[in-house]
Amino acid sequence: MSSKLKTCICLLLSIFIFASCSSSGSDASNQDIIVKEFPNTAILSGKPAKEIILTTTWANLVVVDTFLVIQKREAPFIKIYSTNSHKLLGEIGTQGSGPNEFEMPDMLKQTSYDKQNNSPVIRLYDIGTNRISEVNILKVIKGSDNAITQERAPDLNSVTVTLHHIDDSLFLANPETGGRFVILNSNTKDTTYIPFIPVLDVELKDYTKFMIFQSSVVVNKKRNRFVAAPTYLDELNFFDLKGNYIRSTIVSPRENLLPPPGIQILPEGIKRYFSSLVEADNKIYASRRWPDEGKIQVFDWDGNPLEQYTLEVNSRIGSFTYDKIHKRFYVCFPDEEPYNIYTYPLN
């Protein structure tokens, strides 16, 4: 064998070995990540935001810029506070099915900006009216009549139960039937139904799968993927934006959580795990509902565990959000009285 041929073979072998090593943890590996521990842990001290007075025990939270947006289940559905002072800046949203009204709204984690007045914009999906609403924050604060714009959700073969993301190219939602997720390409109008994956070892009816796989979801378009946290499984499932399954990050073994074979409805006593996901600073923040109540776990977009924060108030987390400017969490504790909105600084 000539020295030149040997050199070429060695070079090709080196490239192959390098490519194999560098692909570890990439989409191509498709290997699940089993969490044995979190590299960093900390206990966070918080305090009630006493200026924020809510007449509800449930709230959905989003922070955008210096605004804390709280969505309730009753009118006025939207309340906007300053994250600098916690002063109430404005509120909007009456009950009904007419223009600028809501029946059963649900605020998305997705935020954007209106270039005309450089205002943050939040989105809501109303399953009662099948409408998507955009709320201009600055217009609400100014009391403008045109602060809300609404449009019908796209017509699909199934009812949209929960909307996770919508823009000029992507519609991602939970359908009532047809699978775990539905993806609509807004440009081509192609529709993809994602089945109930990952496949579980226990044979279950679709209704039970629907309940187990009902998820909180956040999207990272720059990474071309989204992550879903199933309500009754202690794990995160990663997909690309075409609906291809990538991998799971498993915190608790599935065999310890799943109902017995043949169960058509959720058995009594089955435990809920993740309650909400938030994406910030290219990280995934996940709140724990049970059994480790009062915890927020942090992962990167490859599914690797990074940090785990234990909140001093060991109570059921209803929802939470992260304030990037002030570097703190806002957490809603439905069972706490007389205040149920707390702040937890990361220091």
Say if 4 falls within a structural domain.
Answer: no
Higher pLDDT: 328 or 203? It is 328
Strand order from edge to edge, sheet including 78-82: 60-64, 67-71, 78-82, 88-92
Asked whether residue 8 carries a pLDDT value surpassing 70, the answer given is: no
pLDDT tens for each residue of 105-120: 999 999 999 999 999 9
- Rounded CA-CA distance 279/294 in Å is 19
This prediction has a pTM of 0.89
Domain that holds residue 250: 33-345
CATH code of the domain in which 218 resides: 2.120.10.30
Q: What percentage of the chain has pLDDT greater than the value 70?
A: 91
Say if 246 falls within a structural domain.
Answer: yes
Say if 254 falls within a structural domain.
Answer: yes
Say if 202 falls within a structural domain.
Answer: yes
Number of domains in the chain: 1
pLDDT tens for each residue of 205-260: 888 999 999 999 999 999 999 999 999 999 999 999 999 999 999 999 998 899 98
Say if 149 falls within a structural domain.
Answer: yes
Is 277:227 a contact under the CB 8 Å cutoff? yes
Say if 5 falls within a structural domain.
Answer: no
Say if 21 falls within a structural domain.
Answer: no
Say if 1 falls within a structural domain.
Answer: no
- Is residue 25 very low, low, confident or very high in pLDDT (cuts 50, 70, 90)? very low
Asked whether residue 85 carries a pLDDT value surpassing 90, the answer given is: yes
Is 46:311 a contact under the CB 8 Å cutoff? yes
- Rounded CA-CA distance 302/281 in Å is 14
